[in-house]
Structure formats: structure tokens, C-alpha cells
Amino acid sequence: MKFLDQAKVYVKSGAGGAGCVSFHRAKFVEFGGPDGGDGGRGGDVVVQCVDGLNTLIDYRYQQHFKAKTGVHGMGRDRAGARGADVVLKVPAGTQIFEEDGETLVADLTEVGQKVVLFQGGNGGFGNAHFKSSTNQSPRHANPGQPGIEAWIILRLKLIADAGLVGMPNAGKSTFLAATTAAKPKIADYPFTTLHPGLGVVRAVGREFVLADIPGLIEGAHEGHGLGDRFLGHVERCRVLLHLVDGTGDHAGKAYKLVREEIEAYGGDLASKPEIVALSKVDALDPATRKEQMARLKRAAKRAPLALSAASGEGVEAALTELLMIIDGARAAEAPPKVIVEDDVPVATTWRP
């Protein structure tokens, strides 16, 4: 399945059905009177978050979605049926923007969430609605209200607990493949990863979701390379694992370059907790390894991890640190537990 994280679609709610002009006609009924029914309401435009989807690829092949028009009213005081809704099914993490791409309408982060973007038009009144003592045979009815139409933008941001960032060929895909059941493309040339990937890490009897995104190069925020739009997929992560290629020219400069691109992207991404690791240490001799670790420590202003996804060195330590930060974030986000004694709440402090 191809990966698509942004789509522009046209949606329109259904128009209301028209009211009916009708008069009762029956044998031996001299003055039957008006009996035109009301029109039915038009269908709504609904966006629903469902399970089993992880891409917006369906909206590449169909961009127009229209709800059904309400059924017109009929004689004998029969009201028209309501028009059918049109439901757009999206994966968890989908954001809905107006056509300008900046005005956020809704953010669907949990399966089962549903939002009504546009309501259908109301149905028109039939002539039976207008009868009165002074107007006993009205010969007019209302048309249904028109539906609402607009272009919207669907933008998917993957939901993961931890995210991998770094330059191309920093070992992100290798780390994802070594710690999860995911099978990303791995090769010894830049930009092997063209689309974000997800995997479930199982460590210390626990599970968390890990996201891998394409590498960043200098000027990514200006559109160089694959750009920095993929950074949106790690915006929801609780922690970032920053991998720096130990076989590169200068680990410190590589770290600073990626950090500059993260800061230029914005979205509070630069303020997220970060674990720094020197990757591919199995390919370094002791002297080079010591020098690169020192460079990275000076640039990051913290002691980095020595990591090799190929040999397994440092992998367990990295996963343990990730779990500690994830657990702390989950505890902070969880609602406080209420302790009840004799049916009276006495404390609302969090107790894990």
C-alpha cells in the first residue's frame, strides 16, 4: 500500500428537499384542503476516525464527496425522507484544515471520533404548513435550503510514542528493523527512506510505537532534499531519538545541522525530550569512536549513547531510556485517581 499523508478533497452537504403543493382529493369530500408535506433534510458531511487505516491513499483516487439531497415532500401530508450522509473515513492522527491549509477545523486522534463538518440543508415547508383561518388554500411551498460546499485539506500526522530523527543514512531504518517487526528499506545510499514508517517495540515486557521519518539535510526547511514536512509525523511523539552517523566527517556538526532544521520547523518540536546516540559504532576503530563521541558530547552538551543496531550494542540502553521518558509522559497525562473512604473522596493525587 502506498503512503499518502495529505489530500485535498471537495465536500458538499445535501440540499433540503422542496415542500409540496397538494390538495386533498377524495370522493364525497368537497373541500379537502391543502395536504402538501415538508421536504426532507439533506445529508451531512461527516469525517470519522476508524481503525485499520494508516494512510490517506484512498483520497488520491476520489476527491469529490457529496451527501444526498433530501426527498421532496408529497401529497397526503407525507414528508420527504432525510438524505443520506457522506462519511469520510480517515486514520487516527488526521487533521482537517480549511482550503488555506492553515485554519485547523478538527484533529482526530482516537478511533471512533467523529465530526460533522457541514450539516445538510433543511427541507422546505409544504403548503399544509401555511394553512390558517385566513388562508385556507395556500398555493405555495418553500424550496429546500441549499447544501454547503467547500474544499478541505486532510493531513495525517502519525501517532507514535517515540520518533527517530537524523540525517540520511544515520541508521534510523536499521534501528527500526532491529527493534520492531517492521521491514523498512535499508541501503547504503542517501534517502533510502522516502515515507514515514511505524513499528511496535517490545522491550522489558512493555510496548510502545516507534516512528521513522526520512532524513534531514541542510536547508530542508527551504525544500532541499525531501524537505521537512515529514517532521509533522513526530510532532505527537513524547520523545525523540536523535541518531548521528559515527562514520560521518564530524558528528558534532551533523547533530547541530539537524537541530537547526528542527528549530526552523517549529511546532514545539525543539522542546521535546531528546536522547542523543552515536550510531554505527561497530564500524569505528577505538580512536575514531572516542573522537566522535567527544565531538557529539560537546555539540549536544550531554553524554551520548554509543549505538549499533547491526551488532546490538547500546540498543537495550536506548530502549530503556525511551521507556523511562514515555512512562513519565504517560503518567503526567493520565487523570488523577480519586481515593474514596466511606463514600467520601479524600485525595485526588496521582498514585501509579
Q: Which CA distances in Å does 157 have to 197, 213, 221?
A: 12, 11, 18
- The CATH number of the domain where 65 resides is what? 2.70.210.12
Structure-model confidence comparison of residues 254 and 217, the more confident one:
254
β-bridge mates for residue 347, sequence order: 339
Residues 130 and 168 in one domain: no
Residue 192 forms part of a structural domain: yes
Q: What is the pLDDT of residue 146?
A: 96
Q: What is the pLDDT of residues 14-31, one digit of tens each?
A: 999 999 999 998 888 777
- The CATH number of the domain where 264 resides is what? 3.40.50.300
Annotated binding residues for GTP, written as ranges, equal 166-173, 191-195, 212-215, 279-282, 308-310
Residues 287 and 204 in one domain: yes
Residue 220 forms part of a structural domain: yes
Q: How many angstroms separate the CA atoms of 203 and 342, rounded?
A: 41
Residue 72 forms part of a structural domain: yes
- Position 346 pLDDT exceeds 50: no
Confidence of residue 253 (pLDDT cuts 50, 70, 90): very high
Residue 347 forms part of a structural domain: no
The residue among 156, 189, 211 that closes a domain is: 156
Owning domain of residue 152: 1-156
Residues 312 and 234 in one domain: yes
Q: How many angstroms separate the CA atoms of 291 and 284, rounded?
A: 10
Residues 178 and 240 in one domain: yes
Annotated binding residues, written as ranges, equal 166-173, 191-195, 212-215, 279-282, 308-310
Q: What is the pLDDT of residue 338?
A: 52
Q: How many domains does the chain have?
A: 2
Q: How many angstroms separate the CA atoms of 126 and 20, rounded?
A: 5
Average pLDDT of span 104-125: 93
Could you give the angle at the alpha carbon of 49 between the alpha carbons of 48 and 50, nearest 5°?
110
State if pTM tops 0.85: no
Confidence of residue 157 (pLDDT cuts 50, 70, 90): confident
130 three-state secondary structure: helix
Q: What is the pLDDT of residue 295?
A: 94
- Position 186 pLDDT exceeds 90: no
Annotated binding residues for Mg(2+), written as ranges, equal 173, 193
Residue 246 forms part of a structural domain: yes
Locate 285 and state its grid cell.
576503530
Q: What is the pLDDT of residue 214?
A: 81
Residues 46 and 191 in one domain: no
